[in-house]
Structure 1
């Protein structure tokens, strides 16, 4: 991501979204291939085959990677270029961290563990597999669409839009049936994917490109932490989520709205101070 953002400074949202969407899409495409290999070749042979395939594909591809010179890509004088320790002391770092942490609330608490269960309870057991496919596609699509959109609307505005939609979808999912059920699942997945795609760009915008690799690595720690946190919350509700689960997930999805508003205010204040 660091290398690509340096190549495509004016289209960071698009290029980051495209790259991150491939992470999500790879699980959809590779899962059936891996299952087929394991069932036909056995576990060890399947992993050896995959290792060879990755070696043949990835090593030649890596030969085309290069970091452009500073003149070709970006002037480090543009905007803040915070070192990791300085980033940890900066409010902007924590607004992005909090945004990424809570953006997974609806997806991890509700969609991943309960989509099949809720579909079966509401008379859509035969369609549960399509709901699973829908959230996989929504996750990948959100990673591409919304970072690209953020190039036009602004990172913070796009994140707020996605968070508002996710809050509404979590509440809708508590009772939705039929088409509304699928819409709620897809919207939550889109919001999760959007956060995964926008936050890398937001981190480079707010903290700078020069130390992006380390700084975004620290921001990205929010994702496994949130997965553990919201998985445990989800497990507390057992096999079937009750009304409070949907409310808690909706509240979690609302936190990125607050963090983005704080970030916008911080950026505005910094611009005023720099202009003075």
Structure 2
């Protein structure tokens, strides 16, 4: 049992494949709105709040994860599953505030702590293939939607001609059943997860770590902005996926949703494994942003979203989904290369705060532009401009080199003593 697959990879997949179901929100949000008789626009804020709390709990929970990976695994299990049960209960009670608290805040804390928990552990076990290891785990987060969607549709049951559930009560019963399933998966992950034998976190390195120095470092700021832009642009297009496909006359939308989900998960694994072979992992971000610029530029050159641009739209969505996933899986390893492995959970958590703010702005960006102009062309222009900023930052700000803030010296002193 003392091997990297049982102590690092399997628990990471069990945890990430559970919490990654947060991205199944679109499958049941309308059913929640219908059951509690509230506008969908109000109910939507539960998801935005969950992503915001995910990012902020990761930002503030990194130190806790660093100290004890088993406790953080257990804590994420408790918050995530209690949040799911509470969401089901408050749907039954038709309380929007209760849904915000349980799905948005309580579940959101479980998401943030759970997302961070396996990452450093994987890099410790896979010292030579850190990208591949974190890619496998984060791919689990992306694949969760593919795995959970059929199960959720089965639990919610058949629909009426107008799309509403034949048995509306299934929408809250589903949360109870899923909470039980994910509790089992995450508890097994908690029981299995363990750092490599003999590894001890350095107290001197933790003491030498400085939040102020990290947050004011231009390389960290550059990575934060790159990550924020990648998520914002990704969400701006992914949130419009269904309507974009409908606009060009593509009818197999369900199939395409599954295909883009596979690209999202595949990008997490492919780009992170590729980065292991590169001299500088930042090269992957240049590739991600460059491919996005080429595919968006092609859309603009060939007259944007219209009946003749089906292939271009499909390619664009696949490219954006792959880059969106790849941005996530390469973040912890890029940060480890720049800031070392000693406090990577803390630094990674701080960087994930970009996810919190992008979760609020991404969906809104395309929605606001479409509401003001009625045209996807202006969405493309805005995203093109943002990706241009991102690739410039990747090229000129995120330079190679290790920044330790005195941690390396503190560890050497500790070992000498």
TM-score scaled to structure 2, two decimals? 0.58
User: 1:71 deviation in Å?
Assistant: 5.7
Distance 2:274 2:290 in 1: 16
Residue among 209, 234, 242 paired with 2:341: 209
What residue is the counterpart of 2:290 in the other structure? Answer: 164
- Find the aligned partners of 1:95 and 1:130 in 2 and give their Cα distance: 37
Query: Are 1:102 and 2:220 counterparts?
Result: no
Residues 46 and 63 of structure 1, relative CA distance in 2, 3 Å threshold = same
Q: Shift of residue 26 of structure 1?
A: 0.3
Deviates more, 1:83-92 or 1:161-170: 83-92
Distance 1:208 1:265, change over 3 A: closer
Does the aligned pair in 2 maintain the 1:105–1:253 contact within 8 Å? no
- CA distance in structure 2 between the aligned counterparts of 1:70 and 1:110, rounded to whole angstroms: 46
Residues 105 and 268 (structure 1), Cα distance of their counterparts in 2 relative to 1, 3 Å cut: same
Alignment correspondent of 1:198: 330
**Higher RCO (CA 8 Å, separation ≥ 6 residues):** 1
Note if contact 1:104-1:253 (Cα within 8 Å) is conserved in structure 2: no
Corresponding residue to 1:49 among 177, 202, 205: 177
| In the alignment, structure 1 residue 259 sits paired with structure 2 residue 393 | yes
Structure showing greater Rg:
2
How far apart in 1 are the matches of 2:186 and 2:402?
43
Report whether the alignment pairs 1:123 with 2:123: no
**Unmatched 5+ stretches in structure 1:** 271-276
User: What CA distance in whole angstroms lies between the structure 2 residues aligned with 1:226 and 1:181?
Assistant: 23
Q: In terms of mean alpha carbon deviation, does 55-64 or 197-206 score higher?
A: 55-64
Q: What residue number does 1:33 align with?
A: 151
How many pairs align?
265
- Residues 1-276 of structure 1 aligned to structure 2 (within 5 Å): 1-39=119-157, 42-69=170-197, 82-113=209-240, 115-124=241-250, 126-153=251-278, 154-174=280-300, 175=304, 177-238=309-370, 240-265=374-399, 267=401
Closer, same or farther: CA 171–111 of 1 in aligned 2, 3 Å:
farther
Deviation at 1:224, TM superposition (A): 2.2
| In 1, Cα distance between equivalents of 2:191 and 2:255 | 39
Task: Out of 225-234 and 36-45, give the one that drifted further.
Answer: 36-45
* Compared CA separation, residues 149 and 216, structure 1 to 2 (3 A): same
Q: Sort the Cα spacing of 1:180 and 1:232 in 2 relative to 1 into closer, same or farther, 3 A.
A: closer
1:266 Cα deviation from its structure 2 partner: 5.6
Offset of residue 75 of structure 1: 9.5
1:231-252 CA-to-partner distances (Å, cap 9, x unmatched) read 2221212364332210110121
CA contact (8 A) 1:172 1:184 kept: no
Kindly report the root-mean-square deviation, in angstroms, between the aligned alpha carbons of the 2 structures: 2.8
What TM-score comes out, normalization by structure 1 length? Answer: 0.85
1:67 CA displacement: 1.6
Moved more, 21-30 or 115-124: 115-124
Q: Name the stretch that deviates more: 148-157 or 82-91.
A: 82-91
Structure 2 residue runs without a partner (length 5+): 1-118, 158-166, 405-417
Mean CA deviation greater in 165-174 or 213-222 = 165-174
Change (3 A) 1:76 1:5: farther
1:266/1:53 Cα in 2 relative to 1: closer, same or farther (>3 Å)?
closer
| Structure 1 residues 61 and 236: CA distance shift in structure 2, 3 A | closer
